[in-house]
Amino acid sequence: MAEQMESPADNPSTARFQEYLRIRSVQPDPDYDGIVRFLFKMAKEIGLESKKLEFSPGKTIVILTWKGSQPHLKSVILNSHTDVVPVFEEFWTYPPFSAHKDKDGNIYGRGTQDMKSVTIQYLEAVRQLKSEGRHFPRTIHLTMVPDEEIGGHTGMELFVDHLEFRALNPGITLDEGLANPTDAFSVFYGEKCVWWVTVHCRGNPGHGSRFIENTAASKLNSVISSLLEFREKEKKRLESNQSLTLGDVTTVNLTKVNGGVSCNVIPTEMSASFDLRIPPTVNLKEFESQLESWCRAAGDQVTWEYHLKCMNQRVTTPEDSNPWWKAFSDPCKEIGLKLKPEIFPASTDSYYIRAAGYDALGFSPMNNTPILLHDHNEYLNENVFLRGIQIYTRIIGSLASVPPVEGEC
């Protein structure tokens, strides 16, 4: 059934969203102090316990807590990151930190989709639940972490390995998803493994006027050709099967080429770097063997190094046999949402959460919305934003009411 929407005119939830957007938490110098002040102010208004942690200097993690009536049960964690990516203001119609709302109700600003909207939707959903006098057996924690946009190494990666995170007693974590341009809502139960590799090729040097054999360039060409041929096969596989999404195929992109000292000198060494995103359904050992065989086939004096090689393939089961998934999906079905379970095509902080052994789902309630994260003129329509609050109200209440699961008293 469809939910009745409140009129968006002068909506206080929208005003708080716009206030949050105006905090310039933009990399590489995010205003985390401003973020902390805002979030602590929200916690005081709503009536949540608040604390902050710092595992890396200046990188503040905020935790807001609504204790459940049975605090020994595993908790519900609502995670979001507080930083946003840089902007190129000359390409924006409105200033990217003005939170301008146009006549169609579109709110423009860096972070509207990625992911300040979700942070405010969490807060406003909890605000509504508390104002209704609701109580739940499970504790709800809102965690707001820094530096996701630069890899999360000084944020969630440190947090999940710390006693403070384990003390939250995580059961299920919600984190960011993506907008969906159709009427469906994407929900992500796993992520690709990110590999960054550089291949180095050495060969015979010489004058640019000669046909030198066994050059670094010829070897590098072999490696690049093998990887780009595989890339094209994966692209065609995606395009030929409508049931597949970007998260179901391996993406390969050549991101950097180095070598040479002069236009008329054949170089001794050349290198190429690649960004590979591998679905959790792929056998990583077999893929590694294939990748390295392409390098060996290029000739002698070809070496490779991995700058990043994520091997965790843990996913959260998107089936009703998983009580967390059932508690997430049931209220969505009740209000007529069409969920589309997917593998996330890039990476989020959920990777670290799942790698640490906890369940996580990525969800941003933005359907009929173009995907604009990291893009110029990032925006979110006010009605979509406000509906998301009502959706989270249902989901959070359901998750916090899950009866004791296996291993709980």
DSSP per-residue letters across 175-230: E----BSSSSEEEEEEEPEEEEEEEEEE---EETTS--SS-HHHHHHHHHHHHHHH
Q: CA 243, CA 232: separation in Å to the nearest integer?
A: 18
362 within a domain of the structure (yes/no): yes
Confidence band of 1 (pLDDT split at 50, 70, 90):
very low
Helix or strand holding residue 406 (H, E): none
Query: Does residue 5 register a pLDDT over 50?
Result: no
148 a catalytic residue: yes
Predicted confidence at residue 87, as pLDDT, reads 97
Query: Does residue 34 register a pLDDT over 50?
Result: yes
pLDDT, tens digit, 9 for 90 and up, residues 162-172: 999 999 999 99
Both 22 and 156 in a single domain? yes
Both 335 and 389 in a single domain? yes
Assign residue 116 the CATH number of its domain.
3.40.630.10
Predicted confidence at residue 8, as pLDDT, reads 46
Both 80 and 65 in a single domain? yes
Q: Which of 114, 124, 147, 148 is catalytic?
A: 148
Range of the domain at 264: 193-279+281-309
Assign residue 199 the CATH number of its domain.
3.30.70.360
pLDDT, tens digit, 9 for 90 and up, residues 282-329: 999 999 999 999 999 999 999 999 999 999 999 999 999 999 999 999
123 within a domain of the structure (yes/no): yes
1 within a domain of the structure (yes/no): no
Both 57 and 181 in a single domain? yes
Last residue of a domain, one of 309, 325, 351: 309
407 within a domain of the structure (yes/no): no
Q: CA 398, CA 333: separation in Å to the nearest integer?
A: 12
354 within a domain of the structure (yes/no): yes
Confidence band of 9 (pLDDT split at 50, 70, 90):
low
Residue 64: how many other CB atoms lie within 10 Å: 22
Query: Does residue 382 register a pLDDT over 60?
Result: yes
Both 22 and 169 in a single domain? yes
Both 205 and 336 in a single domain? no
5 within a domain of the structure (yes/no): no
Confidence band of 406 (pLDDT split at 50, 70, 90):
confident
Q: CA 112, CA 156: separation in Å to the nearest integer?
A: 21
2 within a domain of the structure (yes/no): no
Q: CA 339, CA 320: separation in Å to the nearest integer?
A: 13
Both 109 and 235 in a single domain? no
Both 211 and 322 in a single domain? no
Nearest to 165 by CA among 329, 356, 319, 30: 356
Mean pLDDT of 80-102: 97
Beta strands in 244-369 (DSSP E): 251-259, 265-266, 269-278, 302-309, 339-344, 359-363
Both 149 and 224 in a single domain? no
pTM above 0.85, yes or no: yes
Both 197 and 185 in a single domain? no
83 a catalytic residue: yes
Number of domains in the chain: 2
Both 117 and 60 in a single domain? yes
Mean pLDDT of 213-230: 98
Last residue of a domain, one of 293, 309, 325: 309
Q: Which of 83, 157, 176, 248 is catalytic?
A: 83
pLDDT, tens digit, 9 for 90 and up, residues 170-211: 999 999 999 999 999 999 999 999 999 999 999 999 999 999
408 within a domain of the structure (yes/no): no
Mean pLDDT of 143-166: 97
Both 26 and 134 in a single domain? yes
**Do 377 and 108 meet the contact criterion of CB atoms below 8 Å apart?**
yes
Predicted confidence at residue 3, as pLDDT, reads 41
> Which residues neighbour 382 within 8 Å (Cβ) at sequence distance 6 or greater?
8, 11, 14, 101, 105, 106, 107
